Chain A
């Protein structure tokens, strides 16, 4: 098959100069078959299953990186929501012991994060779910690689406000127990959480999934920014078209590598999730893509339209490229992991309120942002509840990963290091919704859910 120089250059240039990578290959692993009434035997089975698959994942990924010249940045494991497998061992001490087993299995195999230490509580809490939430501060402080999540609502079930009300105090306790509150960066609260999400910290292996499955997350804000910069004068329809075409190509690369990796591992291929996910590397910023559209800084008026256009074009390009597109495909806009987002907050262009508006049209939610450490627990819960209401009413996934930084005030910086980046502390509305949140209960399932 012949390719012209332009085609070969375009592909090579994406990896050499535009940071195209496979952001994550995440192996979803069912742990229900590890359950044992003997807790030590249970831990041993969990360790062996995770460690074995994790080692295979790392070993098989390297030859594909070389074959296709595309880096596979992260190799990770997601597991069955832990509250389900801990039903008969639901004590805080055993939860911590299981978390440490997972941490050790990941560390010994060279996996940086393992996701799924969480629960699905949209309809209410089991005893095991409640104990898990109670144990989370100790788990997040006592482990390095374990990521936790809660799904507290869905368009069909409504929003479990009682569960949301538990999260504010839990996060403040976690923040106090970990340096620079970094434990909070390993916890995400969702509504409408997809079961096949390959991205941390919210990845888990859904109960409708097979025993093992490989999910791939492909990124590429640098590639999209580059193509946008080449089309400075085109109108929105044309802009959408060039983004769509570019995303089509990078999704096809992700699908190729995902399918080969799944074949080499001897497991079913799950999904390819095409999400523009930024890193702190120069040029690898979703905010910079929006700025290349012609917006001075993300957060300026016009940014919501820009993110809406970007999201839609990314989804359409991905949908045409693969029959197995993941539930989160679109655009992430974490603050601390995106140099353009950080810059916009520091310049006063991006407020928490505008960030919330942007999440109504982006693929996930309020991600990796810091707030003052003295923010009341009920205000943290209210921030979360507002964001999740957007997801429930609009029948989409929304999520919150918030870091209440102890001793810090709006305008300060909190550095997490590595992939997690640097978060400018954002101003929080000082007025309270305490009495509203104290009502508790559940936001009823919405009229949107009455489709049958």
Chain B
């Protein structure tokens, strides 16, 4: 089965436990983390993760809702989006 690559973007104020809590959620969902980057953009702490959902044990809608709820709990915004949208917007 081919890789099913999506990107998670976390935006907010830096704090302890962000990576731990998100990676814990992804581990439970059997989603593999392929890459993690972070930086400061326009005054926000931004962390991005490339994840492969090919072996996920829940669908994207459920994972997206769980990440959204986790973001609310941490006071951050978390977005998960299929890689195709980034290819279309940022590569010609």
Residues of A within 8 A of B (CB): 1-13, 15-17, 63, 66-70, 249-250, 252-253, 255-256
A70 to B89 Cα, complex, angstroms: 13
Determine the chain A residues whose CB is within 8 A of the CB of B37 once the complex forms.
4-5
Determine the chain B residues whose CB is within 8 A of the CB of A2 once the complex forms.
35
Query: Could you tell me if A8 and B64 are in contact, using CB atoms closer than 8 angstroms?
Result: no
CB proximity to A under 8 Å, residues B57-87: 60-61, 64, 77, 79-87
Q: Given A249-B90, A252-B88, list of 19 further CB < 8 A pairs?
A: A1-B86, A1-B91, A3-B83, A8-B48, A9-B9, A9-B41, A9-B46, A11-B89, A11-B90, A12-B9, A12-B11, A12-B77, A17-B77, A66-B61, A68-B84, A69-B79, A69-B81, A249-B89, A255-B88
A68 to B79 Cα, complex, angstroms: 9
Q: What size tier do the contact residues of chain B reach?
A: 20 to 34
Determine the chain A residues whose CB is within 8 A of the CB of B79 once the complex forms.
12, 15-16, 69
Determine the chain B residues whose CB is within 8 A of the CB of A13 once the complex forms.
11, 41-42
Q: Is the interface of A mostly helix, strand, loop or mixed?
A: helix
Residues of B within 8 A of A (CB): 7, 9, 11, 35, 37-39, 41-42, 44, 46, 48, 60-61, 64, 77, 79-91
Q: Which of B7, B35, B37, B90 has the most CB of A within 10 A?
A: B90
Determine the chain A residues whose CB is within 8 A of the CB of B84 once the complex forms.
68, 256
Q: Which 4 A-B pairs have the closest CB atoms?
A: A12-B9, A69-B81, A252-B88, A249-B89
Given A4-B37, A6-B41; A16-B11 close (CB under 8 Å) = yes
A54 to B60 Cα, complex, angstroms: 24
B24 to chain A, nearest CB (A): 21
A248 — nearest CB in chain B belongs to which residue?
B89
Determine the chain A residues whose CB is within 8 A of the CB of B82 once the complex forms.
67-68
A219 to chain B, nearest CB (A): 16
List 19 contacting pairs A-B, 8 Å CB cutoff, sorted by A. Answer: A1-B91, A2-B35, A3-B7, A4-B37, A5-B38, A6-B39, A6-B41, A7-B90, A8-B48, A9-B39, A9-B46, A11-B85, A12-B9, A16-B77, A63-B60, A67-B60, A67-B81, A68-B84, A70-B85
A188 to B48 Cα, complex, angstroms: 45
Query: Could you tell me if A252 and B89 are in contact, using CB atoms closer than 8 angstroms?
Result: yes
A257 to chain B, nearest CB (A): 8
B90 to chain A, nearest CB (A): 5
Contact partner of B86 among A8, A67, A250, CB < 8 A?
A: A8
Determine the chain B residues whose CB is within 8 A of the CB of A3 once the complex forms.
7, 48, 83, 86, 90
B82 to chain A, nearest CB (A): 5
A13 to B7 Cα, complex, angstroms: 13
Q: Is the interface of B mostly helix, strand, loop or mixed?
A: strand
Determine the chain A residues whose CB is within 8 A of the CB of B88 once the complex forms.
252-253, 255-256
B43 to chain A, nearest CB (A): 12
Determine the chain A residues whose CB is within 8 A of the CB of B61 once the complex forms.
63, 66
Query: Could you tell me if A5 and B11 are in contact, using CB atoms closer than 8 angstroms?
Result: no
Determine the chain B residues whose CB is within 8 A of the CB of A68 once the complex forms.
81-82, 84-85
B70 to chain A, nearest CB (A): 15
Query: Could you tell me if B41 and A256 are in contact, using CB atoms closer than 8 angstroms?
Result: no
Determine the chain A residues whose CB is within 8 A of the CB of B87 once the complex forms.
1
Determine the chain B residues whose CB is within 8 A of the CB of A12 once the complex forms.
9, 11, 77, 79, 81
A16 to B89 Cα, complex, angstroms: 16
Determine the chain B residues whose CB is within 8 A of the CB of A252 once the complex forms.
88-89
A257 — nearest CB in chain B belongs to which residue?
B85
Q: Which of B35, B64, B80, B85 has the most CB of A within 10 A?
A: B85
A7 to B50 Cα, complex, angstroms: 13
A15 to B38 Cα, complex, angstroms: 19
Query: Could you tell me if A9 and B48 are in contact, using CB atoms closer than 8 angstroms?
Result: yes
Given A6-B41, A9-B9; A66-B86 close (CB under 8 Å) = no
Determine the chain B residues whose CB is within 8 A of the CB of A7 once the complex forms.
86, 89-90
B9 — nearest CB in chain A belongs to which residue?
A12
B53 to chain A, nearest CB (A): 11
A68 — nearest CB in chain B belongs to which residue?
B85
A366 to B27 Cα, complex, angstroms: 54
Query: Could you tell me if B48 and A5 are in contact, using CB atoms closer than 8 angstroms?
Result: yes
Determine the chain B residues whose CB is within 8 A of the CB of A11 once the complex forms.
9, 81, 85-86, 89-90
Contact partner of B80 among A5, A69, A255, CB < 8 A?
A: A69
A70 to B84 Cα, complex, angstroms: 12
